[in-house]
Amino acid sequence: MPSFFKRSLLPKLRGFPLTPDAIGVLSGAAEFRRCLLEKISQATQRIYIVALYLQQDEAGQEIYDALHAAKAARPELDIVVVVDWLRAQRGLIGAGKQPGNSAWYQAMTQSHTSVVPVYGVPVQTRELFGVLHLKGFVIDDGVLYSGASLNNVYLHKFDKYRFDRYHLIDNKALADSMQHLVEHGLVASKAVHRLDLPNLPSTRSLRNDIGDLRSRLKHAAYDTSAGSVANGNLSVSPLLGVGKNNPLSRVICELIASAQHQLTICTPYFNLPLPVTREINRALARGVKIDIIVGDKTANDFYIPPSEPFKVIAALPYLYEISLRRFAKRHQSMIDSGQLNLHLWHDGDNTYHLKGMWVDQRYTLLTGNNLNPRAFRLDLENGLLIDDPKGEWLEPRHIELAEIFQHTSRIERYQQLQTLLEYPEAVGKFLRRVSRVRIERLLYRIL
């Protein structure tokens, strides 16, 4: 580990031992949905669902119905659903005034004899400044981990999908650790309330409790006492992070710093935090080959075709492309040499939501962290770091990467990316206005 990390976390991480066949990689969103429904129907002990949101649509209804059916068939099942408090109480962006998913949760509880509690976690008093972005479903002794939330597009219910990563890890100690954090670190908090019951308290009335929860989470961690420090064997380490200089963010930077030969990074929103950019530049300086895979702006989940009415949120994909173009321009010589490879993902009308890293032939990071300033400072994030010092899990790793690269194209010259002058008129007008009033930097910090 480079000496400039005075308090390095990576060598001290405790992990749970794994066998190579204990980590399964699912091939897509449709398989993820089938696997989730199958695991729910077969559960005998516990089901802990943690996601940004469980959406009221066909796929969300299918998951919710499956949870109620499992509870009705086996009343002893411990079932808990945890979502973001604020996200659950608003409608879809740009869809006008809507009651939000909480009204649906309450209707479901009223219409069923089985009880599936849905808890709302307020990470901040305003959604703009932080949300619950934890990932991972604990079902019995396994963890189904993905960056996906639960709705039609994330679960490929119909013709469109949002591409993510999907891993199934069979490890009781990991499942216990993740459940313990949800049960004792989140649900037990005075700031956390059931969204499926009526008469919800106002967010304003919870202000002090929310502050206390956020303060506690900054010092919280997954319980890895049943694990061990890296001992040369395959293992998985759960990581938690919220706020500036948190452990997950620090480990991400240390992983980049540890790369000696090959580094691959996925992010849907190209807006790298300064510490990440610095470590990438240092890695390039020491000769590391780097691949960065991002979504084409038309594969961004905020993209709105120019033929539709302009909304402010539609400017985001263009802001990310501007950031990517600047990065490519600064590093054009390394793109020319093949040391740096920037790849755009695009597959029809489908969208791209991948996050994570692959470091040399050893580390694989699964995470919902978008590798942007918001993830490094505002949202409550987690990740699973797979350490494979003997190369026992290389084949599934290579298969996953090959599938991700399938719909990508390499940027040969930064000029391939459009400029402000080439953007739709409404988008260009908005971006010029925010640039003039100097709020562009603020937008990059919170979006």
Which residues are known to be catalytic? 133, 164, 353, 381
Spell out the alpha helix ranges (H) of 160-246.
172-180, 207-218
| DSSP SS3 for 238 | strand
Please state, in angstroms and rounded to a whole number, the distance separating the CA atoms of residues 408 and 336. Answer: 18
State the helix-helix crossing angle for 316-330 and 425-436, rounded to 10 degrees.
70
DSSP string, 98-119: ---HHHHHHHHHHH-SS---EE
Residue 430 parent element (H or E):
helix 425-436
Residue type, 126: R
Q: Is the dihedral of CA 152, 153, 156, 158 positive or negative?
A: positive
Q: Which residues pair with 290 in a beta bridge?
A: 263, 340
Single out the residue of 261, 330, 314 nearest to residue 291, CA to CA.
261
Structure tokens at 243: 């706020």
Burial of 437 (0-12, 13-18, 19+ CB in 10 A): exposed
Phi, psi of 289 (to 5 degrees): -80, 130
Helices 58-73 and 29-42, interaxial angle, to 10°?
20
| Cβ neighbours, 10 Å, residue 197 | 14
CA-nearest of 147, 169, 174 to 25 is: 169
Residues 106, 65: Cα–Cα separation, whole Å? 14
Give the number of residues written for the chain. Answer: 447
CA distance 118 to 105: 7
Among the listed residues 178, 175, 127, the one whose alpha carbon sits nearest the alpha carbon of residue 22: 175
